Amino acid sequence: MTLDELKNIESDVTQRLEHLQDFLHIDDHKQTIAELEEKMTKPDFWDNKESAQETVGKLSAEKAITEPYGELLKEAEDFAVHIEFAADDPDYLGEAEIAAKRIMKHLDDLELLSFLNGALDKNGAYVSIHAGAGGTESCDWASILMRMYRRYFEIQGWKDEIMDITMGEEAGVKSVTMLVQGNFAYGYMKCERGVHRLVRISPFDSNARRHTSFCSVEVYPEVDDDIDIEIDEKDLRIDTYRSSGKGGQGVNTTDSAVRLTHLPTGLVAACQSERSQHKNKATAMKMLKARLYELEENKRREAAAAERGEQSENGWGSQIRSYVLQPYQMVKDLRTGVETSNTAAVLDGEINEFIESYLKGVRISE
């Protein structure tokens, strides 16, 4: 790079940082951090452990936004120094170019958040995987997807918890719902809604034939308790049952699991993560409110798309990605065209390339 090109990059970096400061509301987040830190200095802060942990979590979430921005500001200052050195001595041009590439990459990563502008994009998410027709083969594919996502959550630094799971009769899982908590978890994971297709030689087929399996992935946001969604008790069917997943004998010996069916819409929410039926019902109700909220948001998006003359994407029911393990190795996103032959890495949670390409290529109107 020439010195003039580096100076142009410096100017571009400055403008982008100013845009990010406004979009991310950095000053507001700094004020919130100061308020939370002051709250944590009070002598009685840890008297209410649950409230204290919630405050600590909020502080961590706030810093997860401001700290990367602060690091970018320091990189920008260092980059400016590199340019000054390069102006005095051309031998520093190489170092300045390396600094330029580094800060541009980090800017691209942080700017990805500008595509996550939905009202609840910053929230946690419920991710449900449902095996399609095909018996054991599809159930095994559902368990592979579950592992893929849990590895992705780990890579992202998010926490996840299995809220409800139904095991397959021979192997795998028929369905599973996970609660994922982390910054912008819903904003990222909503890109995964739809049908995922697997083509491979089935390990359950003694004739070693190639099989095609399908699983649907459903994603809806974790909502706060103050979300205004009214559910009439008479519109609910409440079923209790014995937990079927991994949870130890204490979980499985009583009918502690709860399934709520919202009769007007047919939406179902179930929870078996707690030993207490009361706690499971409360959690299932929160999940149901989240699903109802997402249903209304989908209706609004579809209506807005219709007014613009656009075809609304049916995320839950459409095939979005194909995973081919035989006769060749390929994972391809059918919406963006992004593909890779490194199937092992994808199934081990490296799916950021697909999610980022979708976010950058398709602005989801919230």
The residue with tokens 């990605």 is: 321
| Rounded Cα distance, 61 and 120, in Å | 14
Domain for residue 213, yes or no?
A: yes
Residue 311: the pLDDT is 47
Over the stretch 211-238, which tens digit does the pLDDT of each residue have?
Answer: 899 999 999 999 876 667 888 889 999 9
Residues 216 and 334 in one domain: yes
Residues 17 and 137 in one domain: no
Tally of domains in the chain: 2
Please tell me whether residue 16 adopts helix, strand or coil conformation. Answer: helix
Domain for residue 146, yes or no?
A: yes
Residue 345: the pLDDT is 97
Residue 215: the pLDDT is 95
Domain for residue 232, yes or no?
A: yes
Tell me the CATH number at 94: 1.20.58.410
Q: Which of 115, 143, 162 is the endpoint of a domain?
A: 115
Q: What percent of the chain has pLDDT over 90?
A: 58
Over the stretch 50-70, which tens digit does the pLDDT of each residue have?
Answer: 888 888 878 887 887 898 899
Residues 339 and 251 in one domain: yes
Residues 232 and 306 in one domain: yes
Domain for residue 140, yes or no?
A: yes
Higher pLDDT, 306 or 166: 166
Over the stretch 268-283, which tens digit does the pLDDT of each residue have?
Answer: 999 998 888 999 998 9
Q: Which two tokens stand for residue 195?
A: 């049908």
- What number of other Cβ atoms are within 10 A of residue 230's Cβ? 7
Domain for residue 247, yes or no?
A: yes
Residues 36 and 144 in one domain: no
Range of the domain at 244: 125-361
- Confidence check: pLDDT of 339 > 90: yes
Residues 144 and 73 in one domain: no
Q: Which of 115, 133, 165 is the endpoint of a domain?
A: 115
Residue 65: the pLDDT is 82
Residue 362: the pLDDT is 57
Return the minimum-mean-pLDDT range out of 30-39, 110-119, 125-134, 304-313: 304-313
Q: Which two tokens stand for residue 96?
A: 């300045």
Query: Averaged over 145-159, what is the pLDDT?
Result: 95
- Confidence check: pLDDT of 244 > 70: no
Residue 309: the pLDDT is 60
- Banded pLDDT at 333 (limits 50, 70, 90): very high
Mean pLDDT over each residue of the chain, to the nearest integer? 87
Domain for residue 199, yes or no?
A: yes
- Banded pLDDT at 324 (limits 50, 70, 90): very high
Q: Which two tokens stand for residue 180?
A: 């994922």
Q: How far is CA 144 from CA 129, 174, 261, 327, 346, in A?
A: 10, 12, 28, 19, 11
Q: Which of 71, 90, 115 is the endpoint of a domain?
A: 115
With contact defined as beta carbons under 8 Å apart, do 337 and 94 qualify? no
Residues 30 and 133 in one domain: no
Please tell me whether residue 340 adopts helix, strand or coil conformation. Answer: strand
Query: Averaged over 97-124, what is the pLDDT?
Result: 85
Q: Which two tokens stand for residue 72?
A: 């970018």
Tell me the CATH number at 194: 3.30.70.1660
With contact defined as beta carbons under 8 Å apart, do 59 and 37 qualify? yes
- What number of other Cβ atoms are within 10 A of residue 217's Cβ? 21
Residue 158: the pLDDT is 93
The dihedral through the CA atoms of 302, 308, 310, 315 has a sign that is: negative
Domain for residue 110, yes or no?
A: yes
Residues 282 and 222 in one domain: yes
Over the stretch 16-55, which tens digit does the pLDDT of each residue have?
Answer: 999 889 888 899 999 999 999 999 999 999 999 888 888 8
Over the stretch 126-142, which tens digit does the pLDDT of each residue have?
Answer: 999 999 987 889 999 99
Residues 299 and 158 in one domain: yes
Name 238's bridge partners: 260
Q: Which two tokens stand for residue 306?
A: 């219709």
Residues 246 and 163 in one domain: yes
Q: How far is CA 188 from the centre of its chain?
A: 4
Q: Considering the entire predicted model, what is its pTM?
A: 0.75
Domain for residue 107, yes or no?
A: yes
Higher pLDDT, 311 or 95: 95
| Rounded Cα distance, 363 and 308, in Å | 14
Query: Degrees (nearest 5) of the Cα angle 288, 291, 297?
Result: 145
Residues 56 and 181 in one domain: no
Residues 106 and 140 in one domain: no
**1-12 CB burial, b ≥16 within 10 A, e <16:** eeeeebbebbee
With contact defined as beta carbons under 8 Å apart, do 214 and 196 qualify? yes
